[in-house]
Copies of this chain bind each other. A is one copy, B any other.
Amino acid sequence: MMQRPPAEIGMLIDEIDTPALVVDLDIYERNLDKMAELIEKSGKMLRPHAKMHKSPAVALDQIKRGAVGICCQKISEAEIMVEGGIEDVLITNEIVSRGKLARVAKLAKKAKVGICVDNAVATTTLNEECVRENVNIRVLVEIDVGGHRCGVTNPEDALNLAKIITASGNLSFGGLQAYHGSAQHMRTVEERSNAVNDAARIVRETVDRLKSSGIDCPVVTGGGTGTLMHDIGHDEWDELQCGSYAFMDADYAKNKFANDDFGTGFSHSFFVRTMIMSTCQPDMVVADAGLKAIASDSGNPTIAGHEHLTYRMTSDEHGCISISDQDNFKLGQILMLVPGHCDPTVNLYDWIVGIRGDKVETLWPVAARGAIA
């Protein structure tokens, strides 16, 4: 069941129900424009990760500004994005079960679909399902570039998989998935720069190994918002997968940059609107956004305009703010929180409320909310 929207188009922002996910459209569009400009200068392609926003409306805004397509993490997510009008989807994750691989093959009849593999079993199964559906799918080999999660761990294994792909009648070798997830949140410029340099070396070694066996690597894809300024300077990547740049979360704000705008000109466009619902305690107020309104994996949200205070999600539906005499909060007052982590927070909502100035301008359905299979 989709929850009813917390707002109506045209209403004043004061009338938006709480908790609600709100995007400031001026800031959001500035983030998108800034990325388009950076990407154009870099000569790379942009394939934003839709696991962040899970909304075809946002994906279409990104494509309108030059993105070549989007990334998804799950087949269910990809299906919904294609249903929502996206014509080019890359599944940047491993899929193992035959049932899901059959759905990947089916989806390739409706859109340009790519997928990653890091093992021979899934590759062979996928080819069988593509034969059944009479489709050809672009398959990338995921390589571990330092994140130590999925992906083959040496050039030889990458070569073996690339050979299996090229030998499969209904698969085309699409290149390498080279994403370093943990590097996105390394705090210092030096740490991130080192991680990206190491990842680039692994990419080069792998591309060279493939080439020495006569296999060309059409595309190397990877990168993210946290490492963007480093990724851009490396020829090893052809395509970048940034997602968070559109909304920006509080965790990215903890990364240190040469300047204070995430080194890239991106700003928080994304907030959880909450209302103070209890003021009985002398040194604390309680608001109505808890663990079901804001993902807690990357720490507490910050409170816009009250950054010296801490918002603790003490339970499912409560957030507590310890205050001193200087802090003057009223029952019913609205606060705007910047969540620690965009992606799992967006996944809690059915609607994103787009605001401009003092008005609600748009309601985006989070169509792939809960599409985790």
The chain A residues found within 8 Å of chain B, CB to CB, are 1-4, 6, 15, 17-20, 51, 73-74, 76, 80, 93-97, 99-100, 118-119, 121-122, 144, 148-153, 157, 181, 275-282, 284, 286, 289, 291-293, 295-297, 313-318, 320, 331-332, 341, 343-344, 347-350, 365, 367-373
Of the candidates B144, B149, B181, B349, which one forms a contact with A370 in the assembled complex, judged by CB atoms under 8 Å apart? B349
A278 to B276, CA, bound (A): 45
Q: Which residues of the other chain, B, contact A94 by a CB distance below 8 angstroms?
A: 277-278, 286
- As for how many copies of this chain the complex holds, the number is 2
Of the candidates B20, B119, B315, B373, which one forms a contact with A20 in the assembled complex, judged by CB atoms under 8 Å apart? B373
| Contact call B348/A121, Cβ cutoff below 8 A | no
| Contact call A320/B149, Cβ cutoff below 8 A | yes
| Contact call A344/B279, Cβ cutoff below 8 A | no
Of the candidates B151, B277, B278, B317, which one forms a contact with A51 in the assembled complex, judged by CB atoms under 8 Å apart? B317
Q: Which residues of the other chain, B, contact A350 by a CB distance below 8 angstroms?
A: 1, 370
A331-B119, A350-B370, A373-B19 known; A96 vs B150 contact (CB < 8 Å)? no
Q: Which residues of the other chain, B, contact A151 by a CB distance below 8 angstroms?
A: 278, 280
Closest to A15 in B: B99
| Contact call A318/B149, Cβ cutoff below 8 A | yes
Q: A6-B373, A96-B275, A148-B284 given; name 11 further pairs at CB < 8 Å.
A: A1-B80, A1-B350, A19-B373, A51-B317, A73-B317, A74-B317, A152-B280, A153-B281, A297-B313, A348-B370, A348-B372
| Contact call A278/B119, Cβ cutoff below 8 A | yes
Q: Which residues of the other chain, B, contact A93 by a CB distance below 8 angstroms?
A: 277, 317
Q: Which residues of the other chain, B, contact A152 by a CB distance below 8 angstroms?
A: 280
Q: Which residues of the other chain, B, contact A367 by a CB distance below 8 angstroms?
A: 1
Q: How far is the CB of A286 from chain B (nearest CB, A)?
A: 5
A9 to B120, CA, bound (A): 32
Of the candidates B74, B275, B280, which one forms a contact with A153 in the assembled complex, judged by CB atoms under 8 Å apart? B280
Closest to A2 in B: B1
Q: How far is the CB of A196 from chain B (nearest CB, A)?
A: 18
